[in-house]
Chain A
């Protein structure tokens, strides 16, 4: 069990799609989880399928989806940090590092979960991951929380090797799946596919549940 988990991502749904199983796993074990979500994904391209959001209603809808997903995953403390989608890399990096340093100081997390800097594709992911690692780097070695990172760029396997944090989330796969469904504007197409597989033959259903029952991350090494 962790003393405190701090999850840091830029977009509503990153927490669910990248590490939803890990969050549910820690929350299920009784660890307090804080999620600092930096934007509301205002510029997202997915509007539901069939689409029901528009550019102006999207942030309001995504805020609601985020709150629902957080309560499903067991996140007790959601902080919406008030930045705008796609702009994090253009902010002064020191501003981001400072905000994350303050969160660490306040919460004293034993574990931070974020993206792996350099291997997370979206510029917002990268900006926040770099700022997070930098904030931790500035702490004296003994005070540094562990960092678990998710990576999904094409080259990540080659560069980083195998993931070392393998979580058996079979007890919480349905929780993760419910959180995926909560992000309806962003996941409708994916959910359609999963539903089809779950309704398919026994073999297909088993494979789908298996794929939802495992999650793995990298420990960040300085």
Chain B
């Protein structure tokens, strides 16, 4: 992955507009968050292969970035995005990483299902 170039990501988001897509969306602070720090508790959520179609997709911010996808009946939102890749399968991968390189958030879009 490479540091996000917002113009390029915006161009891809525009191309994927009004297309039936599969969504991977996640956020996590790690399964061991509570082990070394009493104040922390593991928090995370993920959706893999949610079906989605949006009419407007926008990337905002100066880095880290936010992405909002406006659907006919709802929104998809992610913040803290730092890196991106349009991989060889044409999937848009967006992720946020902390200073240790650990993933904190991911938003991915694909026209074909993500492998289980």
Contact = CB atoms under 8 A, between A and B. Distances in A.
A54 interface: yes
Interface of A: 43, 45-51, 54-56, 59, 84, 86, 121-123, 152-154, 188-189
Closest 8 CB pairs of A and B: A51-B101, A49-B101, A45-B102, A122-B31, A45-B30, A55-B106, A54-B1, A45-B103
Contacts of B93: 54-56
Interface string B4-42: 000000000000000000001010101110010000000
A92 B104 CA distance: 29
Interface in B79-105: 85, 87, 91, 93, 95, 97, 100-104
13 contacts: A46-B101, A46-B102, A47-B102, A48-B101, A54-B85, A55-B108, A56-B108, A84-B116, A122-B31, A123-B31, A153-B35, A188-B101, A189-B100
Contacts of B95: 54-55
Interface residues of B, number: 25
Nearest to B106: A55
Contact of A50 (B30, B101, B103): B101
A67 B47 CA distance: 28
A49 B100 CA distance: 7
Given A49-B101, A56-B93, A122 B32 contact: yes
